[in-house]
Each structure stands twice: as C-alpha cells, then as structure tokens.
Amino acid sequence: EAQVTQNPRYLITVTGKKLTVTCSQNMNHEYMSWYRQDPGLGLRQIYYSMNVEVTDKGDVPEGYKVSRKEKRNFPLILESPSPNQTSLYFCASNPDSVTDTQYFGPGTRLTVL
Amino acid sequence: QKEVEQDPGPLSVPEGAIVSLNCTYSNSAFQYFMWYRQYSRKGPELLMYTYSSGNKEDGRFTAQVDKSSKYISLFIRDSQPSDSATYLCAMSGETSGSRLTFGEGTQLTVNP
C-alpha cells in the first residue's frame, strides 16, 4: 500500500529537549515536504526536499532542521523546541509536479511545555 | 498580509445544496491552483487542480480561476453529508516540485 508514515503520532515534551519526527514514504517519490497546521494560520510549509541531499526552506523554517540522506526518509529535527512550536505536523511526498497528488502522512501532534 | 486568504467559516448547509468556497491571493506569480479536502484527524487529499484561468469540472465539483481578479472558487453541487470536511485552496508559481502556499481552510458541514 502506497503511504507516508510518521512517528510518533503524539508527543509531549519540554522546552529545549531535542526531538526528531520521522517520515518515510514507500512510493519512490522525488519530493518531500514538512508542514505545520495551526488554527487561524492554516497549513504552512516548513521545509521541502527535491531529492537526496537537496533541501530548501519553506515559509516557516526557523527553529527546524531537516535532512534527506535517503530518498524514502525525511526527518524533521527540532534542536531546541519552544512552546510556539506546539502544532500539528504533516509530512508529504509527491512524484514531480505540484499538481500531482501530494500524499500526506497521518500527522504528528506535538506539544511543547 | 497573507498571500492567500480564505474564509475559515464554519459553513453549514443542508444536503443537496450548492456550496461555494473561495480564496483570494496577492501573488501574481501563482499559476497552478489546487483544492484539497481534509477530513477530521486526517491529512489533506488533492481534489482538483487548475492551470491559469478557466474552469474545470469533475463530477459534482467545479473549480474556477479568475487570474485578473486573483480569485478562485470551488463549487460543490448536490452536496452530501460525506462532503463535510475542511477545504483548503493551494497555489504554486511553478509546476515542478512541492512548493505550495495554502489557504487557511474552510470548514464545511453538510446536514442530512
């Protein structure tokens, strides 16, 4: 089954404690993205990747890091989480064009205390 | 000011109604316009896309783009309770890649 998986699905942590949210896709897609979704602000792109070792900033990259060492994986790293990073996070992948379906993961709800 | 503005609703309609959802945008570089549907506790899924100005129809759904007014619409005919979801518009200035700007989303409830 074609899918994007994210782990963990739910996470409560404290300010400053480094964390990683994993994302993996099994569709051999070139492109992968991370979004955060907040009430009143909608879905905003954090980082995206065009291929292995190629990443670029989205609209809200501050406080986040990503890496793309393998085509299937695109982890999101919060080196020093802060309460304003409390949000619902989605990973997505798509084959090539922006008009292709972006396959979204199930989401990770992060709370930073 | 946001690049893409979308009324968050909520919008509540009776079953069978025609629903109109809209977005406005400010970036004239946007060429590709998409509508996503997001059910509660799920990730968004692509409904339709349109390139530049014009209309596109897919079953009960019609997408319209008016680039001169920087205004896009999604119409749902004969709305069903299963259409209850949040609808997000998304836009891009490039065809290749995954660089998208989303609207806030409109929450729609179709009542039986």
What is the least distance, in Å, from the CA of A74 to any CA of chain B? 14
Measured CA to CA, the distance from residue A9 to residue B6 in angstroms comes to 28
Residue B9: per-residue pLDDT: 85
Residue B93: per-residue pLDDT: 85
Residue A68: per-residue pLDDT: 96
More confident residue, B100 or A69: A69
Q: Using CA atoms of B9, B12, B18, B21 in order, give the dihedral in degrees to the nearest 10.
A: 10
Q: Is any Cβ of chain B less than 8 angstroms from the Cβ of A38?
A: no
Q: What is the mean pLDDT of residues A24-44?
A: 93
Q: Is any Cβ of chain B less than 8 angstroms from the Cβ of A5?
A: no
> Could you tell me the pLDDT band of residue B11, with boundaries at 50, 70 and 90?
very high
For the stretch A35-79, pLDDT in tens is 999 988 889 999 999 899 999 999 899 999 999 999 999 999 999
Residue A41: per-residue pLDDT: 86
What is the least distance, in Å, from the CA of A106 to any CA of chain B? 6
**pLDDT higher than 80, residue B62:** yes
Q: Mean pLDDT check: name the lowest of A18-27, A70-79, B7-16, B47-56.
A: B47-56
For the stretch A88-104, pLDDT in tens is 999 999 887 777 778 99
Contact A92 B98 (CB under 8 A): yes
